[in-house]
Amino acid sequence: MSRNFPDDNEFFIALLNGEFYKSDPKIIPESIYSDSQLLEYWAQLTLPTQDKQITPSGTLVYYLAEPVIRGKNHGVMVVVHSTALEHQEVNEAIFLIIQVMLVVLAIVSLLAWVVAGRLIVPLRLLTETARSISESDLRRRIPVKGSDEIAELTVTFNEMLERLETAFSSQRDFINDASHELRTPITIIRGHLELLSDDPEERQETIELVTDELDRMNRFVDDLLLLAKAEQPDFLNLETVDIGALTVELYAKTQALAVRDWRLEAVASCRIVADRQRLTQAIMNLAVNATQHTKEGDVIALGSALIKNRVRLWVRDTGEGIKPKDRKRIFQRFARGSNGRRSDGAGLGLAIVQAIAVAHGGTIKLFSRPKGGSTFTLVLPLEPPQEVLVNEQNSYC
């Protein structure tokens, strides 16, 4: 035994004449030392034996016993390998793994809580905003943060609010405009009908006046409906339009409006994707507006041109011009210039022209000088924006 050194978990045990004699290391595991039956079994062996045994403490041991007999002395040399330390190492490893898993689980739970909180915040804002929305207040918007699915949902929600606000605003404007402009002709009609006499001549005059007011109301309602429809996807019926042919056609039509010095200044040679009827309506409105602010002998000129991939259609006159303070206001509904000349319309003509231009993805520009005439120019793209094309396609679905 003195020449050999046991490995970890190995023990050299010497038994002499049935009793424990010596061991290396000197201290052997309690699980082996306390098992008297196992020691007695080894002490009685007379033949070399190799086997395994489970001790009362549950430890598995492997052993190799070699009996040594010298005269009356009966000894047994036993080499024992215990799995107790291995089990302890395994248990310690399992315990360490459990500790690490608990720490990782705690960290993951914390991160999940933080991430979930960040994800829930926009959803809570969506819920709060949806609850706070009413017809009278659609101006609230949710701030967009990041570029994930929640941000995309927020953008979509804000776009929906924008559409709702536009729809409700259009509805309110329509009601307010209608009530404002219809009040006067209704009052006139009622007043004359209440004073209607039996005299045939006065009766005829009253009928003519009432008919004229009803015609004006009908035109006004048609204009209001047109402005309301301008915000709908099916407002335009797009087709390929020859601008040159359209310009010549418009020039021929406008000459019947009033006695003026009508001129055709330029004709563009190009085609665009647009609504031919709406463009005709816009230019005719501009021409009518020009006749109302000019007198016989004044020049009213029409023209078209292609400049930097933009089609320009214009109506120019040499009339009284527009004062600087009125140049933005005249495109609003029911707006009229302050130059003293008043038309029979409700002040919706230029608003309709602007709505048609915007629907095509274009603009309307005004150049005017007091006493020097005005030029209204429709500036249109060769093709309307993609959103206009999408709306046009969706209107047929």
Q: pLDDT of 352-375, one tens digit each? A: 899 999 999 999 999 998 778 999
**Percent of the chain at pLDDT above 70?**
84
Q: What is the pLDDT of residue 342?
A: 47
Q: Which of 220-229, 243-252, 386-395 has maximum average pLDDT?
A: 243-252
Residue (of 44, 39, 85, 87) closest to 63 by Cα position: 39
Decide the pairing of beta strands 299-307 and 261-266.
parallel
Residue (of 20, 26, 21) closest to 11 by Cα position: 26
Range in 196-205, 228-237, 368-377 with the lowest mean pLDDT? 228-237
Q: What is the average pLDDT across 383-392? A: 66
CATH number of 239-394: 3.30.565.10
Q: 357 exposed, middle or buried (CB, 10 Å; 0-12, 13-18, 19+)?
A: buried
Give the CA-trace dihedral at 195, 201, 204, 210, to 10 degrees.
-40
- H helix runs in 313-382, sequence order: 349-359
Q: Is 242 in a helix, a strand, or coil?
A: strand
Encoded tokens for 26: 């000197």
For the cut 80, the answer to whether the pLDDT of residue 239 exceeds it is: yes
Q: 306 exposed, middle or buried (CB, 10 Å; 0-12, 13-18, 19+)?
A: middle
Q: Which amino acid does the sequence have at 86? A: E
Task: Map tokens 């016993």 to a residue.
Answer: 65
Instruction: Please tell me the class of the 10-82 domain.
Output: alpha beta
Q: What is the pLDDT of residue 143?
A: 77
Q: Which of 29-33, 158-162, 284-288 has maximum average pLDDT?
A: 284-288
Q: What is the pLDDT of residue 303?
A: 97
For the cut 50, the answer to whether the pLDDT of residue 397 exceeds it is: no
Q: Which CATH number among 3.30.2130.10, 3.30.470.10, 1.10.287.130, 1.10.10.10 corresponds to the domain 149-229?
A: 1.10.287.130
**8 Å CB contact between 321 and 371:** yes
Q: Where are the extended beta strands (E) located within 71-155? A: 73-82
For the cut 60, the answer to whether the pLDDT of residue 50 exceeds it is: yes
Q: What is the average pLDDT across 336-363? A: 74
Domain ranges of the chain: 10-82, 149-229, 239-394
For the cut 90, the answer to whether the pLDDT of residue 77 exceeds it is: no
What whole-number distance in Å separates Cα of residue 176 and Cα of residue 188?
20
Q: Tell whether omega for the bond before 122 is within 30 degrees of 0, i.e. cis.
A: no
Q: What is the pLDDT of residue 318?
A: 93
Mean pLDDT of the chain: 81
Looking from the CA of 75 toward its CB, the CA atoms found within 13 Å total: 10
Q: What is the average pLDDT across 341-357? A: 74
Higher-scoring residue by pLDDT: 142, 383 = 383
Q: 323 exposed, middle or buried (CB, 10 Å; 0-12, 13-18, 19+)?
A: middle
**8 Å CB contact between 290 and 317:** yes
Q: What is the pTM of this model?
A: 0.54
Higher-scoring residue by pLDDT: 243, 133 = 243
What whole-number distance in Å separates Cα of residue 25 and Cα of residue 34?
16
Higher-scoring residue by pLDDT: 389, 230 = 230
